[in-house]
A and B are shown apart, each in its own frame.
Chain A
């Protein structure tokens, strides 16, 4: 069945460091891919999305490219801030069913 695998956390970085959170997926057909972010005590917020191969989603300095050949959707940001500290979830939607990764906690130190 469809599934999403993302790197284990926590990831701890210093402010202004480069961020990569790896995400790979297994799916039939043509899923849409998403990154969600969750701040403490809150629900999940959509960070970015890509609906077809080679699409690049971007928002607030975060980027991810839909790579069908490697079945990946890695999240990147060139310079993280303390305010980016949160849990990040990779997800896919296929036939209107959503599948989420286990989440990666990011801690950014000043």
Chain B
């Protein structure tokens, strides 16, 4: 079956602009999580959506937001971009069911965002 698809793969934006990234999870997966990866900070959790609701949230400012649609596709938005937002943004999907599941997360290839 198809894997996790993230679009676009690469993006260059100017400071102050906003950006929207898209993630299509594996069919049947209801949980989508977003991560920011930078050389200095490693992999940092942004938020997780399950059945169109934000279920978990990391420690990022309100400029970072997301949403999930009824088909489980998710978007992440960053407003008023800063140079420090340059990073690889990864999306991961999982079944996201009850506690007993704890199944693995499958990652997309990421969107490389460069803010200039």
CB atoms of B105 and A43 under 8 A apart = no
Contact B33 A44 (CB under 8 A): no
> CA of A29 to CA of B109 in the docked complex: distance in angstroms?
31
- Distance of A94 Cα from B90 Cα, bound (Å): 20
Distance between Cα atoms of A16 and B41 in the complex (Å): 32
Cross-chain contact B104 with A49 (CB below 8 angstroms): yes
Set of chain A residues within 8 Å of B97, measured between Cβ atoms: 96
Main secondary structure of the interface of B (DSSP, over half): strand
Q: In the complex, what residues of A have CB within 8 A of residue B45's CB? A: 98, 100
| Known A44-B90, A98-B92; contact A93-B105, beta-carbon cutoff 8 A | yes
Decide if the interface of chain A is mainly helix, strand, loop or mixed.
Answer: strand
| In the complex with contacts A34-B104, A45-B107, A102-B42, A96-B99 CB distance below 8 A | yes
List 29 interface pairs A-B (beta carbons < 8 Å), by A numbering.
A30-B102, A32-B102, A36-B107, A41-B112, A42-B109, A43-B4, A43-B90, A44-B92, A44-B107, A45-B107, A46-B104, A46-B105, A46-B106, A93-B94, A93-B102, A93-B103, A93-B104, A93-B105, A94-B102, A95-B102, A96-B31, A96-B48, A96-B55, A96-B99, A96-B102, A100-B43, A102-B43, A103-B42, A103-B43
